[in-house]
Structure 1
Amino acid sequence: MNSNSYSPGLHKLVTLQVDSIEKLTDSKEYIAVTNQILDKYGLEQVGIIVHDFDNDSFTIAVCLKESHICIHTWPEFNQLTLDVYLCNYLQDNSAKVKAVTQAYMDYFDAVIIKDFEINR
C-alpha cells in the first residue's frame, strides 16, 4: 500500500438489544466468549480491564495487538454497546472486524439498534 491508499482500519460501533439479562450481567462468560473469538480470528490480547458494577452490569476493554474491543452493558435497558476496531497494519482487517462483531451479536442473540462503521 502506498501512503495515499492506506486506510488505518475499520471501526465498528453497535448498540444492541438483548433479551437475556444473564448475558448482560455475566462478565466472566463474556471474557470466555471473547477468548474463543480471539482464538478463532487469530487476534492477540495484550491487556484487559474489567469493571463489574453494583447492578451486575459490566464494562470491559480488551486491548489487542491489532487495537481493541470494548463493551458496556445496561441490563436495566436490555442493551449493550460494543466497539470493535482492528488496524490494517499488515493486511486489511475490515472483514474480520465485521465477523468479530457478528460473533458477538450471535452470542448475545442481539438485535441491532444502532450500527456505525467508520473507515479510519
Structure 2
Amino acid sequence: MTQTSYSPGLHQLLTLSVPNSNKLTAAQDFVLFTDTILQKYQLEKVGVVVHSFENDSFTIAVCLKESHICIHTWPEYNQLTMDIYLCNYLQDNTVKVKTIANDYIEYFQADVIKNFEINR
C-alpha cells in the first residue's frame, strides 16, 4: 500500500488595528459580510455562534464544512483577532485563506499588527 503525504491546510491568525471602532461593535454587519465571503469562495456554513458583550464587542465563530472563521473584537483598544482555517481535503486552499484574510483586512480598513501562518 502506497501512502501519500497529506497537508491539512493553512491556518491564519491575525491581530488587526481598526481605525473605526464602530465596525468592532457591529456583529450583524460582520455576519452579513462573512456570508458574502462564503458565497464568493464557495464555502459551506454549518453553524454560527454570535456572542455580544456589554460594550457591544463580539465573539463570532463560523463553523464551516471546510473548518472555521472566528473573530474577537476589542473596540476599547481598536483591535480584533481573527482565526481563518480551511482544510485541504479535496484541494489546496492556501491561496483562498490568504485572499479571505485580505478581504477582511480591507473590510475593517485595518492595519496588520500580527499575522501568523501555520501550515498544518
TM-score, normalising length: structure 1: 0.97
* Aligned alpha-carbon RMSD (Å): 1.0
How far 1:76 sits from its partner (Å)?
0.2
Q: Write the letter of the residue equivalent to 2:85.
A: Y
State the number of aligned residues: 119
SS at match of 2:5: coil
- Distance in 2 between residues matched to 1:28 and 1:102, nearest whole Å: 20
Segments of structure 2 that go 5 or more residues without pairing to the other structure are none
Q: Write the letter of the residue equivalent to 2:103.
A: A
Partner residue in 1 for 2:66: 66
Partner residue in 2 for 1:106: 106
- Distance in 1 between residues matched to 2:111 and 2:75, nearest whole Å: 15
Segments of structure 1 that go 5 or more residues without pairing to the other structure are none
Pairing of 1:1-120 with structure 2 (within 5 A): 3-120=3-120
How far 1:6 sits from its partner (Å)?
1.3
TM-score, normalising length: structure 2: 0.97
- Distance in 2 between residues matched to 1:118 and 1:102, nearest whole Å: 16
Counting aligned pairs with the same residue, the percent is 64
Cα offsets for 1:70-108 (capped at 9, x unmatched): 000000000000000000000000000001111100100
